Structure 1
């Protein structure tokens, strides 16, 4: 069972657990659990995806309950008419806030994108970030005597593949648990010492205009147990009062981000 955070006769939003694929993919033929099929079975009707979250990312995932509503929602995403808010735990200390305007070359999959143009020019990518809280703990990692972390709020203005992960790595503060762009030693230390056995990136909030009623809609997804335990260890339990806490079953928290 997935946590449904909003549902009416036109759309449904769930809190996607880390480790879940949004839909079936021939790139992972052995996977048996998918968000789309689970939601369909849970509510008893077909759903239509309008955006996606990477497998290791948790948080707000919105779906239409008809192809027409799905099309209207997709238009809002394509035209940047909504706002997405993420939270992440990154390596080291960040201070203040800023906007990173750093174009990204397209990341191509060796199989799925084998016919794509590898010479395509970098695409515009803009991320607004704000440091929310910092922590330093007496746990040596790599050449450092302590471990430093920052809780960061991220508002992407564009939606490039792995944009937030790549932008934070560009700032030299990779997201903890990012096996593709991050620091493997930091990832292993964070998993072993603080239980962060996943990509520490969460889609906390989605703000949009309802495609049928025209009313403003604010969707929030709660933090799972790995996030909650980390927040307590780092003394951050009260810094995000607007983001609720939830409980996922152990089966939902698949350790896919560190493989």
Structure 2
């Protein structure tokens, strides 16, 4: 009997791989790297990929554990460093999909400071652009909200602060559905109780960068998870 690979156990689709780097579609609720609050045997992305290919794997950029989607990892310190510099120099194009509360304008930009880490009061400038892709009227009513709308948005962060997208949308009263840290907790509970959706509706859908060795400009995409469309279908007012 063949031993299952870690990526098969955790369902980590590989989008691209060469001897220098790997691009995968990270599952929701999987941390990228180990932190002090995790048990020793807890799974995390760099560990699973490293075990599968029997080599050290370096994370290059941030992707919250609760966010699914495209992420690039490096197989050497040198490649990781070059990729990290591209992120710092804002040479990487990032695109996300999010389901948010309310009728989001057709397009816009959030240009506001956000806190740099959990439980910190220190803030830095951050810039997030967005475009509304779909608007759904629902039968959901609670507190002062009646028949709320949900918007599916394409999001383009131009900086890379901690929880930047989540903070920006929450600060502007367009909380991301399923955000248990910054979002609308009552809405989240209603959606979970009625339809069973628990995840953060934020997905890294597209990533473009220059290959540190070949110099080729590469673009990778991860399809929108099925539960995004399922949520918008079941909540739609009939």
Query: TM-score with structure 2 length normalisation?
Result: 0.88
d(CA) in 2 for partners of 1:119 and 1:8?
A: 41
Aligned: 1:70 with 2:71? no
Shift, 1:232, TM fit? 4.3
> Which of 13, 21, 44 is the matching residue for 1:3?
13
Aligned: 1:49 with 2:59? yes
Structure 2, unaligned runs of 5 or more: 1-6
Deviations 1:41-68 (A, max 9, x none): 2223221111121111111111111111
**Residue aligned with 2:37, SS:** helix
Contact 1:195 / 1:226 at 8 angstroms: preserved in 2? no
Contact 2:96 / 2:155 at 8 angstroms: preserved in 1? yes
Q: Quickly say closer, same or farther: Cα 1:172–1:119, change in 2 above 3 A.
A: closer
Deviations 1:132-172 (A, max 9, x none): 11101223333434232000111011111111011001111
Contact 2:136 / 2:232 at 8 angstroms: preserved in 1? no
d(CA) in 1 for partners of 2:229 and 2:202?
A: 13
d(CA) in 1 for partners of 2:104 and 2:186?
A: 19
Residues matched between the structures, number: 226
Contact 1:205 / 1:219 at 8 angstroms: preserved in 2? yes
d(CA) in 2 for partners of 1:71 and 1:175?
A: 32
Query: TM-score with structure 1 length normalisation?
Result: 0.81
Structure 1, unaligned runs of 5 or more: 110-117, 236-259
d(CA) in 2 for partners of 1:210 and 1:159?
A: 20
d(CA) in 2 for partners of 1:230 and 1:119?
A: 34
Q: Quickly say closer, same or farther: Cα 1:31–1:53, change in 2 above 3 A.
A: farther
Show the 5 A alignment for 1:3-152: 3-29=13-39, 32-109=42-119, 120=122, 122-152=123-153
d(CA) in 2 for partners of 1:191 and 1:171?
A: 23
Aligned: 1:163 with 2:171? no
Higher relative contact order (CA 8 A, sep 6+): 1
Q: Quickly say closer, same or farther: Cα 1:137–1:3, change in 2 above 3 A.
A: same
d(CA) in 1 for partners of 2:21 and 2:141?
A: 47
Contact 1:90 / 1:149 at 8 angstroms: preserved in 2? yes
The aligned residue for residue 113 of structure 1 is none
Deviations 1:101-124 (A, max 9, x none): 111233344xxxxxxxx664x311
Aligned: 1:213 with 2:214? yes
